[in-house]
Structure 1
């Protein structure tokens, strides 16, 4: 089922499956990737309780091994709507026998989308209903159309960070596991990354220590998208490798994939969020359409 928000400036469609945004429209123009299966069938999946791949498709917890797919299970499961107005929707996922088999916690995950003029505020809230420490990662994976306007090309666009910065590129192997070989990722004038399809021939670019806002824009056009992620320390940039895919994903994350060849023990994976029993975790990020 899909739900619509409309504040007169933005129109947002959200699906109950995965609490995934399906469309972002402003002045009749669509900004979100449309899920064309020729390139990538998703649009803006929610990543929980893990971001990225697992070595051998599994992890360890409390001396046991559990299997889990890439990016966790939330993106595939039905959420319940707990609140909806014209400008806000709250969707909720609770643990089940299905989730407990791969992730032995009782939890509530809420995702809310709120329209504020031309901005979409995204809120994540996780409550640990178990009697033990809960370990998890969470993040977004929205794809945006490139080009955003007729008559422009993919290569006419660039990503501009809000402030000068010297990010590190998180080292990945060809199989997209952590390699431990991070290196500085230079930006033009400390702020600009110009888009080209071959940027993603080695899969995602994952950055750390970058500015906490980035804009997708072109000097030849007027439309742009700004993504702000003040409390998510990693940023993935991606489209399907070795293609001319007409979109780019801008992905704020709290954590990172597994190391190459290591079946991670969640207790010792330092980038995961640690949530005490009975406590809640909250994080915000936003998408602004201009």
Structure 2
């Protein structure tokens, strides 16, 4: 387990999945990350790579071959190698192997860089195509934040505040985790999404191409909350397990298959195409208050 610290926050990171385990303000003290209670959902902040969401029949086609890949890909289940670490930063790396090539026929280097910044942390995904042909992938985050955050508050006391006025529907998911082709109303010329447990009884809220690049989790009953920056991510998921004490804010470069998707990897909505030797980088950042 890696431990990072600065004057304001403590962070721990597991080498399996390069997954955040704790995110704590020292001066309060206050833990912001979900505890991973397996009765609801045993993860805390898994990384999604080389796909985001689910595939039709958990499979895709590439170069006339069919491959099986489970929801959100394999990176979260693999042990990463720590390639750099200081008191307040770390870089962890995953590369292709005989095991990954069975389900994903590309050579890659995938790094996750964590860096503490004042009372916050930045998380950077770096993907390099180390193969000789074009590489297709998606990547995203899945951090789960504890809710309610402060004693004496309830889940329904909190809301998400988008930094720009939004008019966006949610894209419903089928029971199999595929995206429907028509939206349902959600954000109607507003900055605010009030949180309630029933919002997630039918899986995640999937949002596309928002005007905002920042969302703040807050309550009028406590000064504590967080601000989440996701510039460069065209999709955003918001999710919680049924009746669990957390909310996930999920920045995605990629999305689950639509119900009528072709199944061809290179035709998948949101898929990133990376030339041989090329690199891709995206970062999200969360500030704790």
- Shorter chain as denominator, the TM-score bin is over 0.9
> Which residue of 1 is the match for residue 257 of structure 2?
258
Q: Does 1:8 align with 2:19?
A: no
> Which residue of 2 is the match for residue 143 of structure 1?
144
CA distance in 2, matches of 1:63, 1:21: 37
Q: Is the 8 A contact 2:68 2:103 kept in 1?
A: yes
> Which residue of 2 is the match for residue 157 of structure 1?
158
> Which residue of 1 is the match for residue 221 of structure 2?
220
Q: Is the 8 A contact 1:55 1:263 kept in 2?
A: no
- Per the TM alignment, residue 262 of structure 1 is displaced from its structure 2 partner at its CA by 4.2
Q: Is the 8 A contact 2:173 2:203 kept in 1?
A: no
Q: Is the 8 A contact 1:12 1:22 kept in 2?
A: yes
- For residues 253-272 of structure 1, the C-alpha deviation after alignment (integer angstroms, 9 at most, x for no partner) is 01110122646211112410
> Which residue of 2 is the match for residue 278 of structure 1?
277
Q: Is the 8 A contact 2:13 2:19 kept in 1?
A: yes
SS of match in other structure, 2:181 = coil
> Which residue of 1 is the match for residue 111 of structure 2?
110
Runs of 4+ in 1 over 6 A off after TM superposition: none
> Which residue of 2 is the match for residue 206 of structure 1?
206
Structure 1 residues 56-205: aligned runs within 5 Å: 56-187=57-188, 190-205=190-205
User: What residue ranges of structure 2 are gaps of 5+ in the alignment?
Assistant: none
User: What residue ranges of structure 1 are gaps of 5+ in the alignment?
Assistant: none
- Per the TM alignment, residue 190 of structure 1 is displaced from its structure 2 partner at its CA by 1.0
Number of positions where the alignment pairs a residue of Structure 1 with one of Structure 2: 286
> Which residue of 2 is the match for residue 247 of structure 1?
246
**More deviation in 159-168 or 32-41?**
159-168
CA distance in 1, matches of 2:78, 2:221: 40
Q: Is the 8 A contact 2:262 2:268 kept in 1?
A: no
- Per the TM alignment, residue 226 of structure 1 is displaced from its structure 2 partner at its CA by 1.2
- Per the TM alignment, residue 54 of structure 1 is displaced from its structure 2 partner at its CA by 1.2
- Per the TM alignment, residue 89 of structure 1 is displaced from its structure 2 partner at its CA by 0.3
CA distance in 2, matches of 1:97, 1:209: 36
- For residues 207-261 of structure 1, the C-alpha deviation after alignment (integer angstroms, 9 at most, x for no partner) is 1132111111100011111111100011101111xx3211001100011101226
CA distance in 2, matches of 1:141, 1:67: 22
- Per the TM alignment, residue 165 of structure 1 is displaced from its structure 2 partner at its CA by 1.9
- Per the TM alignment, residue 199 of structure 1 is displaced from its structure 2 partner at its CA by 0.5
Q: Is the 8 A contact 1:46 1:75 kept in 2?
A: yes
TM-score (normalizing by structure 2): 0.96
Pairwise CA RMSD: 1.3
Q: Is the 8 A contact 1:66 1:102 kept in 2?
A: yes
- Per the TM alignment, residue 184 of structure 1 is displaced from its structure 2 partner at its CA by 4.8
CA distance in 1, matches of 2:171, 2:255: 9
Q: Is the 8 A contact 2:255 2:269 kept in 1?
A: no
**More deviation in 108-117 or 201-210?**
201-210
